[in-house]
Structure 1
């Protein structure tokens, strides 16, 4: 436990440093040369009168005689209110009133960090109220957008405020618990990052501090409280309200997002019934949008403006006629368009997991999901994902199954699904599954992974496991193999294997084990 806490502190320190550097860069970002009325810094009274530090940018020709569509931009976790300044200037130059504000608990805003709680949702409506009363905003044409934390708050606000007609959620979440606690496993590095940045740049509320404490303590008696806390802060909980209110929703996320993995976003997209769009690109959390925040041309922000231009301005720019699901593979540079999410991996191949394999727990085999942020960024910019020498993985600690060599390239698209039977010598345990692209020399490049934890099982009694690995788009070259590796320790997650436990994987004739791999139709 001591080593775990020290590792989390180290991760948080690295994350805090990176965030503060990024914040400093953004504060000095080259603002687009735009014909606006300049930037006005204001304080807005949020829910309960809490001060929200904000800035306002209006079109240059705003003279009170004309109303403009309003865009409200809540800041990301840990970032200052100038985060969106380059984009705000650009959008104002295009005819929008843009109000960006620091969410409560961070930087100059008052209150405590509520992690998208009711007060954050109420704050968004208060900012809209203020903008309608103090800027030349059009009450009938209101949109919200944000990166990360601002994205989640925008979706939550759209569920509770009917005035919001369009949303662009960039690197946001849909299900908070499925993001940081998927497979009933704590995503420790990602959550330590959030906790560390919050402590340095803001003031967590008492409830938020207690939730983080309980999370890292892995206290099962607090599990239901954590789930209930997360549900209240999850847009997926309110999808019916979003659908009823009719907001047009654009979702843009990254395949390698180590804070908000793409599975829950894809599921949420499928539940939306109004105008919607889903974009998935290589990268980690918020990395696909970063250059746009610096004022550099950026695909995510370009599509965001097109989305608002159509649904707030009524421009016939064609975005509503395009296939609404747009993906970019981690292996190639081009975009792929699909009519819906189920069409992404319409064809499936099955890798049978035959035989019986027993592994010991508590030791990292060398198969890992990488390092939060760093690994997915390397994959994004250089196509260098985490790697493992598959023939050298110690079979005492890792179970390994491999396909034959594929005669042609395999374009993995969507969500890989694992089904297997496990027998544990203890009542609790954790496994982590990895899918690797294995080259001729046995070097495996990580395609996807996911953790899975159980409690209360009967020792020695088999039980079934169904696990969805994190959705991805990856091209396996001809002549390569796919390998499934399962071990019990990964630095990204908190594991729950008692000392000395052993896991046995089997494939009963009545319930065979397999990996189902989604492939693009060619």
Structure 2
């Protein structure tokens, strides 16, 4: 567990009698237990600075990114910073209500999306919302988590610490400094925003004290590919067109060409993806990490948080929240507890308050709708259980357990790219032409799968290319969050609740939400995909020789699921999972050598 900090590292505001008094860092002990809403939100300073990233756009112009700032007018120094760097402020918007930035006729920012400004500015924080390069009011190009986007946020942190140049306009020469800033920055954001937080933390930049990545990518390869298999959800070049501004569309053809060429349909792990793989640089992270992810997030797959978490240095102080939702912000599934926890987290890491948040449970996991379980650390599983596939008297069906089948035991199926996992898991005791199904007996006691499972499959293919997919299934009745429906496990209500202070043009009141649940008799709890032609590595896809055995090992989605007593754990193996991946170009027959196939599961309990 993290070491508790007792000394102040930053200036803190002490609520005393007639207002706020700023005291130096040498003052000790710190009498504050939490920051309070002492400052005027209505009178807060709202301004924009354009920060030089140190990079040049393809047209030769220096890239400046727009950072919209709101900060207390009563404090002129020592103000901590909450930053959300995003490509979405002028396009899709942020939050459940898709809020966008708004400005007055002079270009001064009016609406700051989300509740961070409403809640934290009265408590003495500044909020800085950065437009990533090539989006909204920033110039340059959208490069999908690449060098320019990471520099977009990193350069603003440098400016807040006096190491970069900021300007009063997008193209002018008048400069602006951040003398009001304490230099302590916490980055937060969901999806692409949280992804940038991961990427900037992986640079080890000084001044970044904490990150709160929510549903964030840790490797862009794993957003578009899975062990060589290609997701059907889009392409890097297509994503640029969703968020880029007019100058980006006009000037960034060369960047788009790099993205297209670096993302071949072969599924290879290229230099383009390597640049956008923050896991390989996780050893540089110094900031604390409060990671949040939906265990049923089928947009940013959960392998992204699992591999990031595992790669963080042991010295990094950390905390994790895992929900049963899909791609959803915790503000929309556990609002009161989330705001309170985030408040304590920022107070500790950005203000220096010794409130003990680092000694609280390091893991909070939603076990069933609105039922949460705390653990001291994550994952709680300390060992890996190897499970084998043993056939029964029914072709393609068998037992999942500790006993290995005799050498040379095989089972076969034929790829049907028109169906996928939600078809495969049906009728698990019957033969299917398109998948294999293996289940444990009814569990005598609950088990908990917590972490990243891994499967090794040995198979022959009747054609030169083939996909191999695997899904873990909880077979048994349950009420779950309806993560496949609109809202991905939540429903939006007509009532509103307020979180902080409002001003004209920026309300602190947001639509309430509640869990959206459904009853099931079986539920996929983890899935993984691969291209068999990447059996020798991700860098190059190889053609398969029909009839030749190939062995591939790949990860399933990171998860944390408790399977009740009386249920069965199932493993289903198929080929093209039509809901998520593209076919290999044919419909091969796959013969799986069960004696050389195994599943390794991070397990609490026993089967």
Q: Do both share a fold (TM > 0.5)?
A: yes
TM alignment of 1:197-212, pairs within 5 A:
198-202=240-244, 203=248, 205-207=252-254, 209-210=256-257
Cα 1:352–1:316, aligned 2, differ >3 Å: closer, same or farther? same
TM alignment of 1:324-403, pairs within 5 A:
324-330=362-368, 333-341=371-379, 343-344=380-381, 346=383, 348=385, 350-354=387-391, 355-368=409-422, 388-391=425-428, 395-403=432-440
Q: Which of the two has greater strand per residue?
A: 2
Deviation at 1:197, TM superposition (A): 5.6
Cα 1:499–1:119, aligned 2, differ >3 Å: closer, same or farther? closer
- Structure 1: segments with no counterpart, 5+ residues: 1-31, 369-385
Q: Which of the two has greater helix per residue?
A: 1
User: 38, 46, 70: which is aligned to 2:44?
Assistant: 38
Deviation at 1:127, TM superposition (A): 2.2
Kept in 2, the 8 Å contact 1:409–1:476? The answer is yes
Kept in 2, the 8 Å contact 1:124–1:157? The answer is yes
TM alignment of 1:58-77, pairs within 5 A:
58-62=71-75, 64=76, 66-75=77-86, 77=88
Deviation at 1:502, TM superposition (A): 0.7
- Structure 2: segments with no counterpart, 5+ residues: 1-36, 57-61, 94-99, 102-110, 162-175, 392-408, 479-519, 534-541
Cα 1:445–1:85, aligned 2, differ >3 Å: closer, same or farther? closer
Q: Distance in 2 between matches of 1:405 and 1:253?
A: 30
Q: Which has the larger radius of gyration?
A: 2
In structure 1, the partner of 2:514 is none
Runs of 4+ in 1 over 6 A off after TM superposition: none
Kept in 1, the 8 Å contact 2:443–2:566? The answer is yes
Deviation at 1:521, TM superposition (A): 4.6
In structure 2, the partner of 1:174 is 218
Instruction: For residues 268-323 of structure 1, give each alpha carbon's deviation from its aligned partner in whole angstroms, at most 9, with x where no partner exists.
Output: 223323222232222222x134539xxx9354454333222112211122121124
Instruction: For residues 393-416 of structure 1, give each alpha carbon's deviation from its aligned partner in whole angstroms, at most 9, with x where no partner exists.
Output: 761111111222223333332223
- Please tell me the root mean square deviation across aligned C-alpha atoms, in Å: 3.3
In structure 1, the partner of 2:568 is 481
Q: Distance in 2 between matches of 1:301 and 1:87?
A: 9
Q: Does 1:251 align with 2:256?
A: no
Q: Distance in 2 between matches of 1:421 and 1:67?
A: 60
Q: Distance in 2 between matches of 1:472 and 1:447?
A: 7
TM-score (ref. length: structure 1)? 0.77
TM alignment of 1:58-457, pairs within 5 A:
58-62=71-75, 64=76, 66-75=77-86, 77=88, 78-79=92-93, 80-81=100-101, 84-131=113-160, 134-135=177-178, 137-158=180-201, 159-189=203-233, 191=234, 198-202=240-244, 203=248, 205-207=252-254, 209-210=256-257, 213-214=260-261, 218-219=265-266, 223-224=268-269, 227-242=270-285, 246-273=286-313, 274-285=316-327, 287-289=328-330, 291=332, 297-330=335-368, 333-341=371-379, 343-344=380-381, 346=383, 348=385, 350-354=387-391, 355-368=409-422, 388-391=425-428, 395-439=432-476, 443-455=521-533, 456=542, 457=544
Kept in 2, the 8 Å contact 1:41–1:53? The answer is no
Q: Distance in 2 between matches of 1:418 and 1:406?
A: 22
Instruction: For residues 389-443 of structure 1, give each alpha carbon's deviation from its aligned partner in whole angstroms, at most 9, with x where no partner exists.
Output: 2248761111111222223333332223323321112232102111222238995
TM-score (ref. length: structure 2)? 0.67
Instruction: For residues 459-517 of structure 1, give each alpha carbon's deviation from its aligned partner in whole angstroms, at most 9, with x where no partner exists.
Output: 21222232321022223233222222122222343334343421011223xx4x33333
Cα 1:39–1:401, aligned 2, differ >3 Å: closer, same or farther? farther
Q: Distance in 2 between matches of 1:267 and 1:436?
A: 22
In structure 2, the partner of 1:506 is 593
For these two proteins, the number of residue pairs brought into alignment is: 455
Q: Distance in 2 between matches of 1:265 and 1:171?
A: 8
Cα 1:463–1:297, aligned 2, differ >3 Å: closer, same or farther? same
